[in-house]
Amino acid sequence: MHTTFHVDSDGYYGPYGGAFIPEILHKNVEELGACYLNIMNSPDFQDEYQELLRDYVGRPSPLYYARRLSERVGAKVYLKREDLNHTGAHKINNSIGQVLLARRMGKTRIIAETGAGQHGVATATVCALLDMPCFVFMGETDIARQYLNVQKMEMLGATVVPVTCGNKTLKDATNEAIRDWCCNPSDTFYVIGSTIGPHPYPDMVARLQSVISEEIKKQLLSKEGRDYPDYLFACVGGGSNAAGTYYHYLENDKVKFVSAEAAGLGLESGQSAATIHLGREGVIHGCRTLIIQTPDGQIEEPYSISAGLDYPGIGPLHAYLAKTGRARVEAITDQEAVEAAFALTRLEGIVPALESSHALGALMKFRFNPEDIVVVTVSGRGDKDMPAYIEQFPTFLKR
Amino acid sequence: MNRFQKLFKTKNSPVLSVYFTAGFPKIHDTAEIIRQLSDSGIDMIEIGIPFSDPMADGPVIQHSSQIALNNGMTLPLLFEQLKDIRKITDIPLVLMGYLNPVLQYGFEAFCTKAAETGIDGLIIPDLPMREYLNEFQGIVQKSGLENILLITPETSEDRIRRIDANSHSFIYMVSTASTTGAKKDFGEDTVAYFKRVKEMNLINPVLTGFGVSNRKTFETACQYSRGAITGSVFIRCLQQTSDISKAVKLLLETLHS
């Protein structure tokens, strides 16, 4: 029996969450935990945050009725267009909030981890805007794969720190960011990009992304005369856009959640990032959650065509939503995601990010009643994924 | 009286504790490293359980952990290698490792097995005091092991007192805000923090670790606490020579000259 899907006072969602951090970070994380709500709820913070979301990010992002897509899937489908935000994804909602918070806490140096580079670019953007030094940790493998984003971050004035340990991807970049934080606990603020990490990060990031569901409520009310849909669809890697999409509906049982995680080449292929399907409980990056790991508890390198979904853990909120049955979790393969991306492009003229394509892939597989109202969050745009899409041209453009 | 209390009661000169990563440089070196360290007069040994994502460790221990995992080290194998360890040495032995592999083994099964094997204590750097007290203290106490908690320059006086009250072996004083690994020297701020802790007259003895890598840092550590813990520097010695007895000699030369 649950009473709430919100974080409890110890930082847990049911059995998941907590703050499993080295002692050197205790003071830092404790301070953040003690002040984040006060600061985020203060009128002064809200004024600055809301103004930037409106005038800089371009919010509210449209809730677009996708007519042809609706016909295809047999329900009334709306797209929440986070892809239209400045920097091309939902990530900036969070980066702005955390950097504003950091400044109010007197921190003078920003660090961030990044996989594909979207969170790195968003954080570097905000740091340019607010004139803060910014260091982005990025695995060498990802640097090679996403060089355009590296150059973008450098143009924005950030220092991209190449990470050479482990497999040189997101998980290792996160380890290295935490190590930097251990070495600079007093002046540095770690801007985590998803609903992961030690408490209060998962809750803080969910709140900063909750603007997504706040807007959906208002927009649906004016379009449909009711402020809730029957279904919400979102992709989950760490889980930040899904957390934002669900946030104001967490306690509304009329709204069903469908989370799409990345099955990669398939659940049984050994090449997957479907953490909720394949993971076991453990502790990663300061948080108890589901993790893709070996029987001995070594963290495994996940695989997905989408660089934003190949994290071996999952936000503790999503582990709990899945455990309690509040969210239904679909594992979407690379193939299904790519098919959905080409379908959306041809039906609606929108090229989605590969991450968002997983949510669309789950939508395409789902059976609806014709009167169902469905909202799918398109978390980002597909520009960064063009090389992956171009590889698929022989299959999809032959007609 | 546990082995830690016995050590600190009988030893008047500085205590030296040495960390190594189990499974490095070779998979079956564990017992031999413990034998050589113990025979050379080292007072305490920390046996590192390798982990894929050691977030509090610097490059040297990260590297040794990766090699150990590539060599095939696992917790069941480590316990197998340690099963006759009490025929080899009577000094305090500590298992040090991150929480996740321990949770997968089963926290209680791990403590029971460790105690059976003759292990005296645990250091889990990503298990902070609150989580330890809420969930794990009862299990550790039942097994007869001691959980060793860390303090750092960021730890408040009040929290140090609480850590002291919940310790029954020693307190691991992290020298600086850093990951594990070498430092040439401890700065003024670090020495001021050492003094501050010394003047608190804690119930438990304090050992200083992180950055103890040469004579200068070793002596400073021993001046303000009961002794020092060294890890990365020994791993580097093991990288330089595959002869374990030579590596131990090299370690002692590095710390004393």
The mean pLDDT of A138-142, rounded to a whole number, is: 93
What separation in angstroms does the CA of B244 have from each of A133, B16, B228, B240? 46, 18, 21, 10
Which position among A76, A80, A91, A152 bears the catalytic label?
A91
The mean pLDDT of A30-47, rounded to a whole number, is: 97
Q: Which residue's entry shows tokens 């992956």? A: A388
B27 touches chain A (CB under 8 A): no
What separation in angstroms does the CA of A233 have from each of A28, A245, A348, A369, B55? 35, 8, 18, 16, 34
Which helix (H) or strand (E) is B123 found in, with range?
A: strand B121-123
Nearest-Cα residue of chain B relative to residue A170: B53
**Complex ipTM, two decimals?**
0.95
Q: Tell me the pLDDT tens digit for each residue of A328-362.
A: 999 999 999 999 999 999 999 999 999 999 999 99
The mean pLDDT of B96-116, rounded to a whole number, is: 98
Q: CB distance B152–A186 less than 8 Å?
A: no
CATH 3.40.50.1100 range(s) for chain A read 22-53+91-200, 59-89+205-396
Nearest-Cα residue of chain A relative to residue B78: A296
Q: Compute the nearest-CA separation of B151 from chain A (Å).
A: 7
B 7-26 → A contacts, CB under 8 A: none
The mean pLDDT of A181-201, rounded to a whole number, is: 96
What are the beta bridge partners of residue A281? A290
Average pLDDT over chain A, rounded to whole? 96
Q: CB distance B179–A179 less than 8 Å?
A: yes
Q: Tell me the pLDDT tens digit for each residue of B117-149.
A: 999 999 999 999 999 999 999 999 999 999 999
Cβ–Cβ contacts within 10 Å for residue B72, how many? 9
Q: Give A-chain residues touching B105 at CB under 8 angstroms.
A: 296-297
B 55-74 → A contacts, CB under 8 A: 55-59, 62, 66, 69, 74
Q: CB distance A22–B127 less than 8 Å?
A: no
Q: Give A-chain residues touching B75 at CB under 8 angstroms.
A: 296-297
B106 touches chain A (CB under 8 A): no
Give a three-class secondary structure readout of chain A. Answer: CCCCCCCCCCCEECCEECCCCCHHHHHHHHHHHHHHHHHHHCHHHHHHHHHHHHHHHCCCCCEEECHHHHHHHCCEEEEEEHHHCHHHECHHHHHHHHHHHHHHCCCCEEEEEECCCHHHHHHHHHHHHHCCCEEEEEEHHHHHHCHHHHHHHHHCCCEEEEECCCCCCHHHHHHHHHHHHHHCCCCEEEECCCCCCCCCHHHHHHHHHCHHHHHHHHHHHHHHCCCCCCEEEEECCCCHHHHHHHHHHCCCCCCEEEEEEEEECCCCCCCCCCHHHHCEEEEECCEEEEECECCCCCECCCCCCCCCCCCCCCCHHHHHHHHCCCEEEEEEEHHHHHHHHHHHHHHHCCCECHHHHHHHHHHHHCCCCCCCEEEEEECEECHHHHHHHHHCHHHHCCC
Q: CB distance A23–B177 less than 8 Å?
A: no
Give percent of chain B with pLDDT exceeding 90. 96
Angle between helices B244-256 and B30-39 (to 10 degrees): 40
Query: pLDDT at residue B76 above 80?
Result: yes
Q: Give B-chain residues touching A166 at CB under 8 angstroms.
A: 52-53, 66
User: Residue B185: pLDDT band by 50, 70, 90 thresholds?
Assistant: confident
A22 touches chain B (CB under 8 A): yes
A113 tagged catalytic: yes
Q: Assign B122 to helix, strand or coil.
A: strand
Q: CB distance B52–A18 less than 8 Å?
A: no
Q: Which CATH architecture has domain A22-53+91-200?
A: 3-Layer(aba) Sandwich (3.40)
Superfamily of domain B3-256: Aldolase class I (3.20.20.70)
Q: Tell me the pLDDT tens digit for each residue of A145-162.
A: 889 999 999 999 999 999
A 112-141 → B contacts, CB under 8 A: none
State the distance between the two ends of chain A, measured CA to CA, in whole angstroms. 53
Query: pLDDT at residue A3 above 70?
Result: no
Nearest-Cα residue of chain B relative to residue A172: B53
A290 touches chain B (CB under 8 A): no
Q: Assign B99 to helix, strand or coil.
A: helix
B241 touches chain A (CB under 8 A): no
Q: CB distance A280–B104 less than 8 Å?
A: yes
User: Residue A30: pLDDT band by 50, 70, 90 thresholds?
Assistant: very high
* Range of weakest confidence among A98-107, A128-137, A302-311: A302-311
| pLDDT reported for residue B183 | 76
B102 touches chain A (CB under 8 A): yes
Q: Tell me the pLDDT tens digit for each residue of B33-48.
A: 999 999 999 999 999 9
Q: Tell me the pLDDT tens digit for each residue of B233-253.
A: 999 999 999 899 999 999 999
Q: Give A-chain residues touching B156 at CB under 8 angstroms.
A: 27
- CATH of span A59-89+205-396: 3.40.50.1100
Do residues A231 and A258 touch, judged by C-beta distance below 8 A? yes
Beta strands A134-139 and A159-163: pairing type?
parallel
Cis (ω within 30 of 0) for the bond into B153?
Answer: no
Query: pLDDT at residue A55 above 60?
Result: yes
| pLDDT reported for residue A312 | 95
A213 tagged catalytic: no
Among A182, A280, A293, the residue to mutate for chain B (most B Cβ within 10 A): A182
Q: Residues A178, A182, A183, A189: is their CA dihedral positive or negative?
A: positive
| pLDDT reported for residue A399 | 56
Which helix (H) or strand (E) is B190 found in, with range?
A: helix B188-199
What are the beta bridge partners of residue A81? A378
| pLDDT reported for residue B257 | 77
| pLDDT reported for residue A127 | 98
Q: Give B-chain residues touching A290 at CB under 8 angstroms.
A: none
**A-B interface: how many C-beta pairs under 8 angstroms?**
115
B151 touches chain A (CB under 8 A): yes
Average pLDDT over chain B, rounded to whole? 96
Q: Tell me the pLDDT tens digit for each residue of B201-237.
A: 999 999 999 999 999 999 999 999 999 999 999 999 9
| pLDDT reported for residue A2 | 53
Q: Assign B125 to helix, strand or coil.
A: coil
The mean pLDDT of B71-100, rounded to a whole number, is: 98
What are the beta bridge partners of residue B211? none
A91 tagged catalytic: yes
